[in-house]
Structure 1
Amino acid sequence: MIGRAFLVLLWLDVQLQSLLGVAARINKTRIIAGGVAAGAALLFAAPTLLICLWRRSSPPVHFFDIPGEEEPEVHFGQLKKFSLRELQVATDNFSPKNILGRGGFGKVYKGRLAEGSLVAVKRLKEEHSQGGELQFQTELEMISLAVHRNLLKLIGFCMTPTERLLVYPYMANGSVASRLRAIECRDSQPPLGWPTRKHIALGAARGLAYLHEQCNPKIIHRDVKAANILLDEDFEPVVGDFGLAKLMHYRDTHVTTAVRGTIGHIAPEYLSTGVASDKTDVFGYGIMLLEILTGQRAFDLARLADDEDVMLLDWVKGLLRERRLEVLIDSDIQGNYVEEEVEQLIQVALLCTQVNGNERPKMSKVVGMLEGEGLAERWEEWQKEEMLQASNRQNQQNTYPFHPNSTSRILADELSGPR
């Protein structure tokens, strides 16, 4: 740097001497004055030239915000961004004792935030946590836009190079499945009564109808079951685990060719083709209704011990064929239900689980039927069609004792006869 400054000054001196020499030959007095003025100007400009040379020779300096261990509170839309440290502290470093459940996308932990509120933290499995940041934020945005009383609200997230976590409010009464089958907790958690089960059926239907018909693009759940219906402190049902479902644009005819779901809840066309739609969710909802009615699992190998069907739908249809409606109802509510309401719920379940997906009702229609609108007409039409098909299958039924829709004639007497 000193060498460059010396060269600049030397150049200025040479220029001054040259001007002085010319002045001596032409007009000594006038040119000396001009040369002195020019030299003075160059001398005043020298600092500016030196600064320019220094800036050109120095590498550029950039300033970045380097986040510390505790990041300031950041919000993505309506969602809060948590630091990994916050969620580690909240869950006691993801202690096994705080595990609330395990799902296809990872484990869920109970946690308590610094201000004291309880949360459920879904820690995505490693294979689901390597997606791009933009894709992850896009999924979060779609989840956060699905706001409904009967949908589990996403309140925040955490995103690091190796972790993807979602934060939800804690549901005090757990899942419907846990309340239906947690025999060991009956002293502290009484069984679900019939009015509560009806309320769960209607609330879950409303939540799914919102996902299918009010979200754009529509959201297909793909794993509707009692374990994914959660209950808050007031036993209000909320549909959970829909945030990671694939999104389906209204112009699309399918979501994916990778079958995801739980055995016993998967619609036959989804299982055979890998094509999911809102109607495959309707099938899963119908199975969930049967879970609520019977207290049984959708798939249970233990039923083999009694020579019964392992699939809940087949088991229910078998009982209906044998006119054993009383065996079908969960023993926890025996004698404490309205028979007409039970029959109506069975009818809705069977309409939702028809083999042909196109014949299943939309979830908004299911909501209407549960509220008493159009069920009788829809059930009558279904029975007529099934009776007609049954007469054409008479010989086939003699060969194969059970057919997926062979309960229609029994149902006509069992569910629509005199009470």
Structure 2
Amino acid sequence: MWRFKAPKEEENTTEFFIQNGAYLLEELIISCNGKSNPIRNFSIKELLKATNNYHRDHILRTTEEFTLFKGRHEDQFITVKKFKGNDRRFTERCVNEVVMLSQINHKNVLKLLGCCLDTEVPILVYEYAANGDLFEKIIEKVGLGNHSVMSWESRLRIATGIANAVSYIHTATSKPIIHRDIKSGNILLDQNYVPKLSDFSFSISIPLGETHVEDAVRGTIGFIAPEYIASGRLTEKADVFSFGMLLLELLTGKTPWSLARLAESLNILFLDYFRSFIDNNRLREIVDSSIWEEEEEIKRQLQTFAELIVTCTEETPTERPTMMEVTKKLRQIERCLHP
């Protein structure tokens, strides 16, 4: 049974609390029949104190739409997501994220601790990921301390962890959940570099008894499956395509957009451009130079990893593997690394 826990000192509910709470409850009942993890309501005062009034020194990341702040509450660090402005669509995305994450309990999914419903657009509170996001580490290559690069072993471990998480949301929830925005910027890393899949604001469930769902296109250009762009039709295979693009980032240290520009300059399709390096025994030219090794076993692992990218990004969805099959393949590569 769902439970919503409000702080005891908050006896006088506000207009926003009532409005957002009613909306959230309605969505919980529709999406998971009211069965969800407990959701804590943080007060405005608690979050102001935790973030030192949202001081700029507490900013972890900022985008056009929201800012992530580091906070400290009840002797633990937290991450606070505060949207910019009072756009109704932000409220819808916040509530959607709460609904999705209230059904999920997985070590490789960023845990939602609660939210503040007392503001026009709810504020979300998560566990703290001390090492930032994966995009910073493999694309911008910042924040690695004494390590100038992220090792192949670390990249493979991160890929396997996120594959586990996506496989979980596809198969272990009451209705399959499609994330819709898998990319390195949405992979956070905790103090031990355990990867955490984050940002479920675009996520959507496939109705019971159905094999797909139709919706307006959401996500990040370069990571969106072609059939979804063409038809608005979504299956779990759309996430497989996005995950293949994440693997591409891990392998090359480049974004799909930067590789697409290179392909465009040669007047060939982006994925054909990538596949040409595999087919013509030129993998070394596209693999991030910081992880390339001449050792034969490592080269075989990189080759297998690259071939997995190709299968995940097949144009026809039915030709892509399931995320369970992807996870199995990544574990096989890991076992070769640690026989």
Where in structure 2 are the equivalents of 1:241-390 lying within 5 Å?
Answer: 241-242=199-200, 244-300=202-258, 303-304=261-262, 307=265, 313-335=271-293, 338-372=298-332
Larger radius of gyration: 1
Hey, what's the Cα distance between the residues in 1 that align with 2:236 and 2:180? 8
Give structure 2 stretches of 5+ with no counterpart.
1-9, 18-35, 334-339
Q: Per-residue displacement from partner, 1:249-298 (whole Å, max 9, x unpaired)? A: 24234334311111111111011112222100000001111110100111
Given residue 72 of structure 2, which amino acid in structure 1 is its aligned partner? L
Residues 130 and 333 (structure 1 numbering): CA distance in 2 closer, same or farther, change over 3 Å?
closer
Tell me, yes or no, if the aligned pair for 2:214 and 2:233 is still in contact at 8 Å. yes
Secondary structure at the aligned position of 1:331 is classed as: coil
Tell me, yes or no, if the aligned pair for 1:302 and 1:310 is still in contact at 8 Å. no
Hey, what's the Cα distance between the residues in 2 that align with 1:345 and 1:262? 23
Q: Per-residue displacement from partner, 1:310-355 (whole Å, max 9, x unpaired)? A: 9863442233344321111101113277011111111111111111
Hey, what's the Cα distance between the residues in 1 that align with 2:278 and 2:139? 23
Hey, what's the Cα distance between the residues in 2 that align with 1:174 and 1:336? 31
Residues 66 and 187 (structure 1 numbering): CA distance in 2 closer, same or farther, change over 3 Å?
closer
Residues 257 and 66 (structure 1 numbering): CA distance in 2 closer, same or farther, change over 3 Å?
closer
Tell me, yes or no, if the aligned pair for 1:300 and 1:310 is still in contact at 8 Å. no
1:148 counterpart = 2:106 = yes
Hey, what's the Cα distance between the residues in 2 that align with 1:312 and 1:120? 36
Higher RCO (C-alpha 8 Å, min separation 6) = 2
1:100 counterpart = 2:46 = no
Hey, what's the Cα distance between the residues in 2 that align with 1:100 and 1:310? 38
- Structure 1-normalised TM-score? 0.64
Hey, what's the Cα distance between the residues in 2 that align with 1:191 and 1:236? 17
Superposition RMSD in Å:
3.1
Secondary structure at the aligned position of 1:211 is classed as: helix
Residues 280 and 293 (structure 1 numbering): CA distance in 2 closer, same or farther, change over 3 Å?
same
Secondary structure at the aligned position of 1:208 is classed as: helix
User: Cα offset for 1:90?
Assistant: 2.2
Q: 1:121 aligns with which of 80, 84, 105?
A: 80
User: Cα offset for 1:103?
Assistant: 5.7
User: Cα offset for 1:102?
Assistant: 4.3
User: Cα offset for 1:306?
Assistant: 9.8
Moved more, 336-345 or 353-362: 336-345
User: Cα offset for 1:208?
Assistant: 0.1
How many residues align? The count is 300
Secondary structure at the aligned position of 2:188 is classed as: strand
Given residue 123 of structure 1, which amino acid in structure 2 is its aligned partner? K
User: Cα offset for 1:190?
Assistant: 3.1
